[in-house]
């Protein structure tokens, strides 16, 4: 499956992902960097591999994202790494992802036959993704059920502020959260922003996306 790699809003290269250790949500592929990678990112990759004590705050600030050719963004909770060291800088580079949802891998990478979204649900751009994630961080307080979770914006319902996030939390078993963003900043009420949790993407599709499609069409 072809994919585009971003750092913040910049495209830094492409890859064709293959399945590695499926049980661990592992994907890999040859990485084809562009000028943005060489001018802005490579020095941090070299530093990542050469340093004894990795500065994860610096590394995480690069905000790597992977978007498949069907416009789905992946959430590799185990991280993203690039096989690129200064001593072998002319060798073919590789990208590795860990902790991708195995159901997503099976449905959209191994089989690659399933439709990603149905109207009125839409895919998002990298600019939207970063904006939605920043806003959710602003809106949740320390008592909210999503506090302490990691999350990745996944899609949006057309014409409203209902955004689907893939989530990873020690407190929550479900993997997806539908959030109504308020764009008003933090609220002291632990129940805002309002959310609805789904076990996986399939549950979201059958309980929300398909009913929304019927309502949209009729």
Q: Is the pLDDT of residue 5 over 90?
A: yes
For residues 156-165, average pLDDT: 95
- DSSP 8-state class, residue 24: G
Element holding 176 (H helix, E strand): strand 176-180
Residues above pLDDT 90, as percent of the chain: 87
**Greater pLDDT, 142 or 7:** 7
Look up the pTM and report it: 0.95
- Kindly indicate the confidence band of residue 188, based on its pLDDT and cuts at 50, 70 and 90: confident
Task: Identify the residue whose tokens are 């955004």.
Answer: 163
DSSP for 94-149 reads EEEEE---HHHHIIIIIS--S----TTEE---HHHHHHHHHHHHHH--TTSTTTT-
Nearest partner of 27 among 16, 36, 19, 35, judged by Cα:
19
User: What pLDDT digit, counting tens, does each position of 19-64 carry?
Assistant: 999 999 999 999 999 999 999 999 999 999 999 888 889 999 999 9
Judged against a pLDDT cut of 80, whether residue 104 lies above it is answered with yes
How many angstroms separate the CA atoms of 159 and 115, rounded?
21
- Asked whether the CA dihedral 177, 68, 39, 78 is positive or negative, the reply is positive
Q: How many CB atoms lie within 10 A of CB 114?
A: 12
Taking residues 198-218, report their average pLDDT.
94
pLDDT for res 114 = 81
- What pLDDT is attached to residue 52? 85
Flag whether pLDDT at 113 surpasses 80. Answer: no
**How far is residue 208 CA from its own chain's centroid?**
20
The alpha carbon of residue 47 and the mean position of all alpha carbons in its chain are separated, in whole angstroms, by 24
- Give dist(CA 202, CA 200) in Å, integer: 5
How many Å is the Cα radius of gyration of the chain? Answer: 18
Handedness of CA 163, 165, 169, 173 (dihedral sign): positive
């Amino acid at each position: 499956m072809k994919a585009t790699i971003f750092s913040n809003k910049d495209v830094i290269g492409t890859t064709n992902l293959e399945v590695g250790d499926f049980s661990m949500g592992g994907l890999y592929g040859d990485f084809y960097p562009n000028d943005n990678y060489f001018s802005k990112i490579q020095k941090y990759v070299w530093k990542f591999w050469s340093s004894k004590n990795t500065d994860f705050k610096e590394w995480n600030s690069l905000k790597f994202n992977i978007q498949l050719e069907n416009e789905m963004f992946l959430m590799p909770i185990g991280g993203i790494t690039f096989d690129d060291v200064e001593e072998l800088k002319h060798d073919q580079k590789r990208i590795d992802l860990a902790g991708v949802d195995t159901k997503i891998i099976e449905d959209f990478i191994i089989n690659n036959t399933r439709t990603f979204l149905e109207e009125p649900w839409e895919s998002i751009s990298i600019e939207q993704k970063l904006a939605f994630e920043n806003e959710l961080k602003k809106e949740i307080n320390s008592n909210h059920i999503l506090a302490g979770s990691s999350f990745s914006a996944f899609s949006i319902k057309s014409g409203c502020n209902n955004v689907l996030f893939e989530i990873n939390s020690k407190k929550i078993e479900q993997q997806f959260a539908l959030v109504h963003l308020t764009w008003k900043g933090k609220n002291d009420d632990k129940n805002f922003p309002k959310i609805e949790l789904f076990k996986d993407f399939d549950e979201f599709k059958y309980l929300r996306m398909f009913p929304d499609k019927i309502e949209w069409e009729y």
